[in-house]
Amino acid sequence: MTKFNAVVAVAAAALLSGPAWAASLQPAAGDAPLFNRASAAASTLQRQSVQADAARHMPAAGQLNARAATAPASMLTRADVREALQQALAHGFHVKVGERS
């Protein structure tokens, strides 16, 4: 019986130690810079210039943060627009309104 227990214990140890042997020798994603210190370069910028540049170029944050392009100012008056619409309606233009338009 002790021989059987020894075989079961060895088999269990072999099964439970399998994942430890399957580990990769490569670092996990994001850990690579820890092993590559030669690529780090000293910056020549001063703190004040970096902060000023960051204040001028604020990152987009939050909802509805995009700035719409400004539309060119129209030179038409309300009366001009109404007259143009009346002329278009007189010449067959139909305003599409409703579900069946």
Query: Between these two residues, 76 and 38, which has the higher pLDDT value?
Result: 76
Q: Residue 34 in contact with residue 27, Cβ under 8 Å?
A: yes
Mean pLDDT in residue range 9-14:
76
Contact 54, 61 (CB under 8 A): no
Q: Is 49 helix (H, G, I), strand (E, B) or coil?
A: helix
Mean pLDDT of 3-28: 70
Banded model confidence at residue 84, pLDDT cuts 50, 70, 90: very high
What pTM was computed for the model? Answer: 0.29
Confidence of residue 90 (pLDDT cuts 50, 70, 90): very high
Q: What is the pLDDT of residues 23-58, one digit of tens each?
A: 566 656 666 555 555 555 677 888 888 888 888 887
Q: Which pLDDT does position 29 carry in this prediction?
A: 64
Are 60 and 66 contacting, i.e. CB atoms less than 8 angstroms apart? Answer: yes
Structure tokens of 6?
A: 């020894």
Give the CA distances from residue 29 to residues 23, 34, 40, 41, 95, in Å, rounded to whole numbers and listed in that order.
14, 11, 19, 22, 59
Phi, psi of 50 (to 5 degrees): -70, -45
Distance CA 101, CA 99 (A): 6
Residue with tokens 């820890």: 34
pLDDT of 59 above 80: no
Q: For residues 31 and 80, which has the higher predicted lDDT (pLDDT)?
A: 80
